[in-house]
């Protein structure tokens, strides 16, 4: 292989890209119209557009999760935050005389975001302030948050009839679904925030070695607090999308299992669960893969009884193919001649004493 | 008597890593009943050789025989079963399991599938008794000192396989008494016919215990010598491969001129922390190097941590520029221009995943806050400057810092703090586990920096080093500062040792 090609295949997004391409290819073979995108009434339509549109809320939640995971934490409460922010926004709109009023919708959004930030602060306080393990600290809000959401909706499904609000989840802006625009904007903002400032490096250093970072003067607690706030903020926006898409808030099922999809997207994107280096583009890719998978399951008419199994198998395949050890083992079995002392590359470039 | 047959031979062993030839055509032999020291600078290939020998890495080319028969180990487990075990500097056991469990983990005596715990315990006790160690084998491993943990690792190793035993830097974290105990066990094992390989940075220890020395340099074999035929100076020359001008100049350097006392920079007044260090008073002036001497665990590190705010004091005051500074966190200490290089490079110093550049600017960036990033051009300037000044190799700022050798990692941390332009630099064991050349460079740096007005608190287990660099020496014993000695012409290692011993 040429060096350029080797570099490309060694890039950490190479295998996720391959998987996404394979999934898309499978869809095209099954149904050639899959790739067609048409302009109808000034809106783009097609399976590909659907995938991106539906992945928008997951992308946002996974984005916030990426920062949390980069510090070595985890946020299980995002699904509940999705439900809560959607519920409070819909509650406010449903109380308005004119549900189509821009002012009412903006207030609703502000309320939802404000509450999400508070919930993020709560998570961050439990983890950074009191020192509870992240999985337990956020489990509290994961469980209690469902109750809070149902409290807001009074156990009912609040339906709204507000076209400005519907725009967030199901509307179009210049032919493109508006939720995609929001998701990409927030992602771009997050990328700029972390990579143009020193936040990204500081997060990675806290996740890589918290004690060393503290002794280097990093205020780790503030950083940890911040990532939980960011995570809840992203989940809050996703909550608007979810509820706006169906024009209603269901405290019980909105955002259900979002945390698992988000964690999966982060891991598929190459960010290690043990913290340290993170990849925003990897997470975006991960979210797209998961949504493509879900769409594929529906498009191919895989029976509901087996669809979860199918998803699971693909996810396992994605994780395995990303592991250099696994690839080396498969590769070795195919090419190894007989004899125990065959020279071969170690599975992963090992750490050597650098000698120059 | 026929010449002794080697227990283990490695011939023409080569090992290539992507971009680095770690070993080329190296020969290595271990004889039964002998202690064989493997010497070389950081990056000479010692670790790689040991890892190839014990099955951690596969051999690229070359041959290995054990007891006359050709062998090749695919994993450390195979090596152990074949009779080759390793005892590492950082004990590779499970601290949360009991001593007995650690010795027998993975090969517990069983009957009908059930583990026979009584046999586990009694056999563990027997094994440790052979090492003259009488401890409660049901207690958790972590409740014992590192030295005892190492003994447990040795007990496990000799019970599994008693042909070849490799000690990789076993003494780096031990105090003098513990080293003596370890050496007694090593001698005992070698007399019983075990072939022992010994990797260390301490030249004195090599001459104290080894029978034979193999020297590596840059992945190549320099030679194999009998220890009695190889004077110490010659050994160092063979390791470095050049004349020892740097080192000799430092060795010859006379005592540092007495420090001209001006106003104190830092004063600890009856500063203390319960359970950590008794209240002590210590004054450090600008441009002054204060050495801390004492045995391992005597409270040297604890003094440093209090001064830096890594631990909070619960007694006394810390004055900076004559006024109480209220240093209760590293951030507060850094705001008063104090810097601290921890003795634990890996756990408290480096962020191994990040690059050399990121590790170097971490402290400065942290003190600026994340919202005021250091411009990339400024970062590159600073990093390039210190890579050059400290001669860090490889000189690649974007290299992950975990790929550097110990000495270079230490320099990266030094650079991290020098970049913050501190007024007091606390160095806790800055030269431990690094090679002679890097050690000399760091010592020279300390002299230069203090001449330039930097105050330095220098902590080292090596008294020679402390005496060579310090203007005054504070002696610790049992978590107490027992004495403060001016480093004048009357002070030598013996007197410091006496002070430590007598405690006054």
Please list every residue in chain B whose beta carbon sits closer than 8 Å to the beta carbon of residue A354: 20, 43, 393-394, 399, 403-405, 408
Q: Are B249 and B51 in contact (CB under 8 A)?
A: no
Alpha-carbon distance of B94 to B120, in angstroms, equals: 16
B residues 339..358 contacting A (CB < 8 A) = 340, 342, 347-354, 358
Q: Nearest 5°: CA angle at B496, between B493 and B498?
A: 110
How does the average pLDDT of chain B come out, rounded? Answer: 86
Q: In this structure, is residue A347 part of a structural domain?
A: no
Which band of pLDDT confidence, cut at 50, 70 and 90, is reported for residue B59? Answer: confident
Which of A203, A209, A348, A352 would you mutate first to test chain B, the one with the most B CBs within 10 A?
A: A352
| Model pTM score | 0.77
Q: In this structure, is residue A342 part of a structural domain?
A: no
Q: In this structure, is residue A349 part of a structural domain?
A: no
Q: In this structure, is residue A346 part of a structural domain?
A: no
Q: Any CB–CB contact under 8 A between B431 and chain A?
A: no
Radius of gyration of chain A (CA): 22
B residues 60..89 contacting A (CB < 8 A) = 60-61, 72, 74
Tell me the mean pLDDT in the region A281-286.
94
Cβ within 8 Å, pair A340-B408: no
Q: In this structure, is residue A320 part of a structural domain?
A: yes
Q: Any CB–CB contact under 8 A between B218 and chain A?
A: yes
Q: In this structure, is residue A196 part of a structural domain?
A: yes
Q: In this structure, is residue A126 part of a structural domain?
A: yes
Alpha-carbon distance of B190 to B35, in angstroms, equals: 7
Tell me the mean pLDDT in the region B200-226.
88
Q: Does residue A169 surpass a pLDDT of 60?
A: yes
Q: What does each C-alpha distance from A220 to A211, A217, B25, B245 come to in angstroms?
A: 9, 9, 48, 45
A342-351 pLDDT, tens per residue? 334 333 433 3
The ipTM value here is: 0.83
User: How close, in Å, is residue A131 to chain B by CA atoms?
Assistant: 17
Alpha-carbon distance of A257 to A160, in angstroms, equals: 24
Alpha-carbon distance of A141 to A77, in angstroms, equals: 5
Tokens of B176: 């003098």
Alpha-carbon distance of A105 to B483, in angstroms, equals: 73
Cβ within 8 Å, pair A211-B348: yes
Distance of CA B130 to the CA centre of its chain: 28
Which band of pLDDT confidence, cut at 50, 70 and 90, is reported for residue A73? Answer: very high
Please list every residue in chain B whose beta carbon sits closer than 8 Å to the beta carbon of residue A351: 402-403
The domain of A316 spans 16-25+43-76+113-145+181-239+253-324
Cβ within 8 Å, pair B218-A355: yes
Domain count for chain A: 1
Which band of pLDDT confidence, cut at 50, 70 and 90, is reported for residue A36? Answer: confident
Q: Which residue has the higher pLDDT, A76 or B79?
A: A76
Cβ within 8 Å, pair A353-B47: yes
Q: What is the pLDDT of residue B154?
A: 86
A290-338 pLDDT, tens per residue? 999 888 888 888 887 887 888 788 778 877 877 777 878 887 655 444 4
Tell me the mean pLDDT in the region A112-136.
96
Cβ within 8 Å, pair A353-B57: no
User: How close, in Å, is residue A288 to chain B by CA atoms?
Assistant: 27
Q: What is the pLDDT of residue B253?
A: 52
Cis peptide before B476 (omega within 30 of 0): no
Q: In this structure, is residue A258 part of a structural domain?
A: yes
User: How close, in Å, is residue B278 to chain A by CA atoms?
Assistant: 23
Cβ within 8 Å, pair B351-A353: no
Please list every residue in chain A whose beta carbon sits closer than 8 Å to the beta carbon of residue B393: 354-356
Q: Are B91 and B153 in contact (CB under 8 A)?
A: yes
B360-409 pLDDT, tens per residue? 999 999 999 999 999 999 999 999 999 998 888 888 999 899 888 778 89
B234-246 pLDDT, tens per residue? 887 787 765 555 5
User: How close, in Å, is residue B311 to chain A by CA atoms?
Assistant: 10
Which of A199, A211, A216 has its CB closest to that of B347? A211
Q: What is the pLDDT of residue A350?
A: 39
Q: What share of chain A is helix, strand, coil (3-state, %, to 5)?
A: 70, 5, 25
Which of B312, B370, B402, B435 would you mutate first to test chain A, the one with the most A CBs within 10 A?
A: B370
Cβ within 8 Å, pair A356-B58: no
């Amino acid at each position: 292989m040429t060096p350029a090609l080797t570099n490309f295949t060694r890039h950490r997004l190479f295998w996720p890209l391959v998987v996404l391409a394979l999934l898309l290819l499978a869809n095209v073979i099954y149904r050639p119209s899959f790739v067609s995108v048409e302009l109808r009434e000034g809106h783009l339509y097609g399976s590909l557009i659907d995938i991106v549109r539906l992945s928008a809320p997951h992308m946002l939640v996974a984005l916030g999760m990426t920062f949390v995971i980069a510090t070595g934490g985890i946020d299980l409460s995002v699904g509940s935050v999705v439900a809560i922010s959607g519920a409070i926004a819909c509650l406010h709109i449903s109380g308005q005389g004119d549900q189509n009023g821009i002012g009412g919708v903006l207030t609703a959004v502000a309320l939802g975001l404000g509450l999400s930030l508070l919930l993020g602060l709560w998570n961050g306080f439990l983890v950074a302030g009191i020192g509870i393990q992240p999985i337990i600290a956020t489990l509290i809000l994961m469980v209690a948050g469902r109750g809070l959401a149902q409290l807001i909706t009074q156990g009912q499904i609040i339906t709204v009839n507000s076209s400005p609000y519907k725009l967030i989840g199901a509307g179009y802006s210049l032919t493109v679904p508006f939720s995609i625009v929001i998701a990409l904007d927030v992602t771009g903002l997050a990328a700029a925030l972390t990579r143009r400032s020193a936040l990204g490096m500081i997060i990675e250093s806290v996740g890589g070695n918290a004690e060393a970072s503290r002794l280097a003067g990093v205020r780790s607690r503030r950083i940890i607090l911040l990532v939980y706030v960011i995570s809840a903020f992203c989940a809050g926006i996703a909550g608007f999308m979810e509820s706006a898409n169906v024009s209603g808030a269901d405290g019980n099922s909105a955002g259900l299992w979002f945390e698992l999809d988000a964690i999966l997207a982060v891991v598929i994107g190459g960010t290690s669960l043990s913290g340290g280096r993170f990849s925003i583009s990897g997470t975006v890719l991960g979210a797209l893969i998961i949504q493509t998978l879900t769409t594929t399951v529906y498009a191919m008419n895989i029976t509901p009884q087996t669809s979860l199994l199918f998803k699971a198998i693909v996810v396992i395949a994605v994780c395995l193919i990303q592991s250099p050890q696994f690839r080396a083992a498969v590769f070795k079995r195919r090419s190894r001649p007989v004899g125990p002392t065959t020279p071969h590359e170690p599975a992963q470039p090992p750490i050597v004493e650098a000698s120059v | 008597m026929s010449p002794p047959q080697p227990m283990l031979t490695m011939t023409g062993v080569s090992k290539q890593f992507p971009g680095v030839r770690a070993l080329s055509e190296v020969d290595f032999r271990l004889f039964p009943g002998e202690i064989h020291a493997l010497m070389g600078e950081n990056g000479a290939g010692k670790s790689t050789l040991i890892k190839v020998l014990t099955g951690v890495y596969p051999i690229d080319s070359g041959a290995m025989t054990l007891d006359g028969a050709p062998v090749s180990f695919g994993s450390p487990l195979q090596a152990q079963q074949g009779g080759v075990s390793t005892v590492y500097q950082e004990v590779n056991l499970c601290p949360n399991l009991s001593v007995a469990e650690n010795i027998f983990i993975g090969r517990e005596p069983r009957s009908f599938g059930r583990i026979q715990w009584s046999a586990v315990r009694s056999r563990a006790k027997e094994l440790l008794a052979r090492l003259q160690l009488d401890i409660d084998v049901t207690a958790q491993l972590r409740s014992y000192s590192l030295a005892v943990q190492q003994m447990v690792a040795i007990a496990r190793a000799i019970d599994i396989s008693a042909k070849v035993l490799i000690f990789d830097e076993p003494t780096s974290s031990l105090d003098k008494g513990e080293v003596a105990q370890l050496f007694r066990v090593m001698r005992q094992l070698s007399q019983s016919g075990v072939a022992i390989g010994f990797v260390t940075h301490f030249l004195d220890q090599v001459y104290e215990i080894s029978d034979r020395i193999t020297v590596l340099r840059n992945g190549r074999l320099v030679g194999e010598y009998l220890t009695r035929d190889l004077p110490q100076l010659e050994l160092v020359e063979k390791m470095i491969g050049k004349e020892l001008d740097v080192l000799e100049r430092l060795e010859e350097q006379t005592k540092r001129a007495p420090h001209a006392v001006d106003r104190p920079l830092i004063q600890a007044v009856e500063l203390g922390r319960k359970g950590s260090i008794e209240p002590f008073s210590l004054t450090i002036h600008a441009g002054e190097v204060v050495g801390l001497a004492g045995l391992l665990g005597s409270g040297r590190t604890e003094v440093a941590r209090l001064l830096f705010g890594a631990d909070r004091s619960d007694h006394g005051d810390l004055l900076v520029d004559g006024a109480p500074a209220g240093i209760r966190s590293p951030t507060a200490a850094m705001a008063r221009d104090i810097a601290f290089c921890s003795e634990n490079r890996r756990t408290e110093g480096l962020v191994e995943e990040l690059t050399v550049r990121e590790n170097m600017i971490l402290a400065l960036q942290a003190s600026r806050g994340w919202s005021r990033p250091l411009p990339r051009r400024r970062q590159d300037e600073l990093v390039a400057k210190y890579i050059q000044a400290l001669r860090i190799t490889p000189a690649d700022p974007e290299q992950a810092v975990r790929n550097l050798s110990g000495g270079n990692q230490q320099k990266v941390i030094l650079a991290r703090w020098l970049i913050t332009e501190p007024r007091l630099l606390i160095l806790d064991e800055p030269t431990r586990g690094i090679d002679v050349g890097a050690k000399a460079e760091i010592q020279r740096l300390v002299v230069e920096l203090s001449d330039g007005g930097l105050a330095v608190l220098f902590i080292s287990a090596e008294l020679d080093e402390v005496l060579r660099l310090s203007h005054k020496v504070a002696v610790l014993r049992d978590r107490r500062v027992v004495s403060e000695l001016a480093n004048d012409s009357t002070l030598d290692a013996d007197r410091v040792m006496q002070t430590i011993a007598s405690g006054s």
